[in-house]
Amino acid sequence: MQNQNSDKVIIITGATSGIGLATAKELAGKGAYIIGTGRSAERCAKAEKEIMENCPNGKVCYIRADLSSLTEVKRLAALIRERLASNGINHIDVLINNAGTVSSWYVSTVDGFELQFAVNHLAPFLLTGELLPLLQHSKEGTVIGVSSGSHYRTKMHWKDVLLRKHYNCLLAYKQSKLANVLFATELNRRAGKVGSSIRAYAVDPGLVNTDIGLKGTDGIVRKVWKIRSRSGTPVEQPAHSISFIAAEPAARKTEGVYWKDCTPLKPSRYSQSEDAGTRLWELSERMCGIKFNLNHSEI
């Protein structure tokens, strides 16, 4: 019997370690064609080799990209399109926006945006928009973002979204994770209005034992992460939740935008605000210089 995922095309950002790599391994094992991304060419090659060793019959390739740069995000999208076209593929079934970052100090990207907002929100927003035509060509185009339970306890700081005046590491992180849920919700809302089959989800991985909190942090933030992450779950647990949405038809038949442990949960009330969703969407389009076209008939 043919694996139902054998012809699925799945893009996973931040797939050289942690949750992203674990997700790539699981989905490659299910027969999907995986295109992973990472910032380091060396780590991309290592991850690709590791997956192929675990899944000898798997189809996987990696593309290097620094998602803190909007130009790099556009370049990545172009390379993905070229890679798929060279293989006679005109669709993407699942886009998993997994890449994320944390920074103890205010870092301005090459585009002038705060680093966490740029990597955790603007990059997924722009990459989704750039790859939207390919997602629209899939019967069940799916966009999955990795959010956090911390989104329950914050709101968007519209007067200073980039937190230039009063930067706080945890506040910047929480706001970017809230943006993930707002984006998924608004994408579903807009897709529904034009009859698009695109569906978006935000996955809460819970506390996971990864080194994300060690890469761009110092002082108390780094110390706290070291202590807390020891009690975190293995990366395979949230990876399985992401893979469930990506690979199981039953997931799309279940209502809910926010998931944890393969189960839909009620997100924060604020994350479901149409006003907040519209405001963030329009702001993100201006920042990224893109306009989404969800009308399938025009693609």
Residues forming the active site? 173
Structure token pair of residue 201:
């989800």
Alpha-carbon distance of 32 to 26, in angstroms, equals: 9
Alpha-carbon distance of 88 to 257, in angstroms, equals: 32
Map tokens 């939740």 to a residue.
Answer: 241
Alpha-carbon distance of 67 to 299, in angstroms, equals: 26
- 219, amino acid identity: G
Alpha-carbon distance of 255 to 218, in angstroms, equals: 40
DSSP states of 207-251: SB--SHHHHS--HHHHHHHHHHHTTSBPTHHHHHHHHHHHH-HHH
- 203, amino acid identity: V
Q: Which of 24, 87, 84 is nearest to 50 (CA)?
A: 24
Neighbouring C-beta atoms of residue 262, cutoff 10 Å: 17
Which residues contact residue 209 at a Cβ distance below 8 angstroms, ignoring those fewer than 6 apart? 229, 230, 231, 232, 233, 234, 235
Structure token pair of residue 103:
């920074």
